[in-house]
Structure 1
Amino acid sequence: MKNGLLLLVFTLRSVALCGQWSVSTLPGEPSIRAIDASGSHNIWISGSNGGIFVTADGGQTWENRCPEEFSHLDFRGIAVLADSVVVAMSAGDGSEGRAVVIKTTDKGRTWRKVLEKNEKGVFFDTIRFKSPWTGYLLGDPIDAFPYLLKTVDAGETWVRVGNLPEINDGEASFAASNSCITTSGDNVWFHTQNRIFHSFNSGEYWQVHNSLFLKGASQGIFGIFAIDPYTLIAVGGNYLPHKEPVLQYAHSGSGGQAWYTSKEYWKVGLTECVGVFGAKKHLISVGTDGSALSRDGGFTWKPLDNESFHVVKCFGNTCMAAGARGRVGIIKPE
């Protein structure tokens, strides 16, 4: 194990403005795909070119703590289990040595590999923990069933989840914003382009539900978010240039069994991620075609701007988003 780290520390001169993004750019302009935190004092983001960054001051300064030996990987998933414990997931073909999960227990000073899959076709999409010990990792299907792994020892060991419904031909998930899995209590959901897989008992038994999204190689659901054990928000679109309207938002009040949307949410563009902010738990969404706000639990959405981001996470009344070309934005929506 090499202990050399990319210790790049830099300052983002940005201030969170009310109702307006304050945007800065990380050196090297990595594409950021994931945000997680153990609080506003310990925020981690990750992405391409060995990007595993941490801030302790709300995004004013950042440090890249990726080990040099992993600096070629695209870390599209990150999970913060405690102030000093973080796991990062690399997306890429297993046969090329890119399907990797690494872990630190000392705030990123040293890292070790805890999972590597070398089979051709293995491609990790999302990593999500429902507790500091129990987590799930979703990858593209490599046989007749979804490829879902589970850990119960804080990422030290991973076992493939069985008893899943069969996958359909051409069905997969998008490694877009580390948002293909969501949890609430013992409920676990993950999605493909157009279907929702749900377990109410931490993965022992599964059901599958259809959504309102259409399946395509570049279109469908890009993120799912549990507000509570019954309320879900799904967002999506098409990541390729297109002229035909595609579904952006859908809402479920039945744990994913039935879905609601409106014709105004069929439009050109892509929505990838949702954050919850404020005491009233309002919502903010981001995507490559702009951000939007919902003040009624996701039933209706009002466009905010056309800023492009892949991922968002909120802390109290402040939200942080990040995306392509190293762009990091901070906003106070209320």
Structure 2
Amino acid sequence: MRIRVIATLALSAVALSAVSGFDWRPQPRWEPGDSAGATARLRGLSAVNGSVAWASGSGGAVLRTTDGGRHWRPVGPAGSTLEFRDVQGFDADSAVVLAIGPGDSSRVYRTDDGGRSWAETFRNEDQRAFYDCMAFFDRDSGLALSDPVDGRFRLLSTQDGGRSWRVLPTSGMPPALDGEFAFAASGTCLVTAGDRSGNAWIATGGGPAARVFRTGDRGHTWSVIDTPVPAAPTAGIYSLAFRDPWHGIAVGGDYATPTSAPRAAAVSRDGGRSWAPAWREPGEYRSGAAWAGHRGPLALAVGPTGSDLSYDGGRIWRRFDSGSYDAVACAGGTCYATGEQGRVARIRWS
């Protein structure tokens, strides 16, 4: 009897939605936070849990919240003007930030005291390398991605939480296409499934095809697949997100034409081995994507022209906000977004 009652209620809710237009599914809205007067463009974002998150951006900016996104405070390296495009937070005290740029502009720093002090743990000395993003499998193991050097994407590896790094051999990396590179737009051109499986994925564009590279052994060997997302010198996949080793979403477009991005979203259900176009994409350039924590197939995408929500794992997207954000990250059921002029926000569900 109980199963029959639940089924009847569910069918009634669906019928009500169809007849009245009422949507019984959770509805999101962004609630702005206080970034203490920050004016940096915050493209790096890492959600640790429902209370703690880290953000990073231009002009050496690093911000941290410990109250669920209500207040963010600057904690970056003193005097730095580097472009911190990616950040990985481990807890309220420990985090790693990645600075992008050619040659020694690409660097990594780590803090273990909430940002009161920072140690430089990597400085790129190869003028041909340009590091874009990083991702961690756990608190110890992680990778950082550079655009192709000698025709292949280059990777750094750490086994001690970003305290030291080494360049991995490229013998297991497929050749890059002419003009192919990764976009340092939101720290999500390289992602993991957030577990110890060793799975990681790279998103690309810039060349004749937007592709996804996949590894199952923590970056030693890779396979690559074309996706249906269009590619061009400034177009391709800007962000990936995997909620487990199987279910992935990809979003992107062309930042030079942000209000038009046909077919610029795709989904994978086999760990990135194949990709299918979204049934209804955001339709505009999106630079960041994330799964909405414990809410199953709920996913978010953000960009300078708005934010979108998918209830079905990336197949159908719908707009819910028109504000400008560059990055989105979720943990513990809480989602955060950051963007230009120090914009910070957390999501509210109704």
Post-superposition shift, 1:296? 1.2
The question of whether the paired residues in 2 share the 8 Å contact of 1:318 and 1:333 is answered with no
Post-superposition shift, 1:99? 0.8
Deviation string, structure 1 residues 173-229 (Cα, Å, up to 9, x no partner) = 000000011212221111211111111122232111111122222110001111221
Post-superposition shift, 1:60? 2.1
TM-score with structure 2 setting the length:
0.84
Larger radius of gyration: 2
Partner-residue secondary structure (3-state), 2:105: coil
Q: In the superposition, relative to structure 1, how do residues 50 and 221 fare at CA in structure 2: closer, same or farther (>3 Å)?
A: same
- Asked if 1:294 corresponds to 2:310, the answer is yes
The whole-number CA distance in structure 2 between the counterparts of 1:105 and 1:24 is 25
Moved more, 248-257 or 163-172: 248-257
Equivalent residue runs for 1:277-292 within 5 Å: 277=292, 279-281=294-296, 282-292=298-308
The whole-number CA distance in structure 2 between the counterparts of 1:243 and 1:134 is 38
The whole-number CA distance in structure 2 between the counterparts of 1:266 and 1:316 is 25
The question of whether the paired residues in 2 share the 8 Å contact of 1:32 and 1:324 is answered with yes
Equivalent position of 2:189 in the other structure:
180
Equivalent residue runs for 1:99-138 within 5 Å: 99-138=106-145
Moved more, 317-326 or 22-31: 22-31
The question of whether the paired residues in 2 share the 8 Å contact of 1:91 and 1:124 is answered with yes
Of the three residues 166, 169, 175, the one matched with 1:166 is 175
Deviation string, structure 1 residues 202-260 (Cα, Å, up to 9, x no partner) = 22321111111222221100011112211110110110136764332100112222211
Of the three residues 318, 326, 329, the one matched with 2:342 is 326
Given residue 181 of structure 1, which amino acid in structure 2 is its aligned partner?
L
The whole-number CA distance in structure 1 between the counterparts of 2:99 and 2:217 is 28
The question of whether the paired residues in 1 share the 8 Å contact of 2:329 and 2:337 is answered with yes
Give structure 2 stretches of 5+ with no counterpart. 1-25
Q: In the superposition, relative to structure 1, how do residues 84 and 25 fare at CA in structure 2: closer, same or farther (>3 Å)?
A: closer
Equivalent position of 2:264 in the other structure:
248
Partner-residue secondary structure (3-state), 2:56: strand
Moved more, 241-250 or 226-235: 241-250
Post-superposition shift, 1:317? 4.0
Equivalent position of 2:58 in the other structure:
48
- Asked if 1:274 corresponds to 2:289, the answer is yes
The question of whether the paired residues in 1 share the 8 Å contact of 2:242 and 2:291 is answered with no
TM-score with structure 1 setting the length:
0.88
Post-superposition shift, 1:309? 0.5
Equivalent position of 1:202 in the other structure:
218
Partner-residue secondary structure (3-state), 1:325: helix
Equivalent position of 1:190 in the other structure:
202
Q: In the superposition, relative to structure 1, how do residues 109 and 290 fare at CA in structure 2: closer, same or farther (>3 Å)?
A: same
Of the three residues 78, 92, 102, the one matched with 2:87 is 78
- Asked if 1:58 corresponds to 2:74, the answer is no
The question of whether the paired residues in 1 share the 8 Å contact of 2:257 and 2:285 is answered with no
The whole-number CA distance in structure 1 between the counterparts of 2:347 and 2:265 is 22
The whole-number CA distance in structure 1 between the counterparts of 2:154 and 2:181 is 10
Partner-residue secondary structure (3-state), 1:256: coil
Q: Over aligned residue pairs, what C-alpha RMSD do you find?
A: 2.0
Deviation string, structure 1 residues 242-301 (Cα, Å, up to 9, x no partner) = 67643321001122222111464283x211222222543211111112111111122211
Post-superposition shift, 1:25? 6.2
Partner-residue secondary structure (3-state), 2:212: strand
Greater share of residues in helix: 2
The question of whether the paired residues in 1 share the 8 Å contact of 2:129 and 2:146 is answered with yes
Equivalent residue runs for 1:87-98 within 5 Å: 87-94=96-103, 97-98=104-105
Deviation string, structure 1 residues 5-52 (Cα, Å, up to 9, x no partner) = xxxxxxxxxxxx963222356424110011113322321111011111
Q: In the superposition, relative to structure 1, how do residues 221 and 202 fare at CA in structure 2: closer, same or farther (>3 Å)?
A: same
The percentage of aligned residue pairs carrying the same residue is 31
Q: In the superposition, relative to structure 1, how do residues 91 and 251 fare at CA in structure 2: closer, same or farther (>3 Å)?
A: same
Moved more, 207-216 or 128-137: 207-216
Q: In the superposition, relative to structure 1, how do residues 262 and 196 fare at CA in structure 2: closer, same or farther (>3 Å)?
A: closer
- Asked if 1:36 corresponds to 2:36, the answer is no
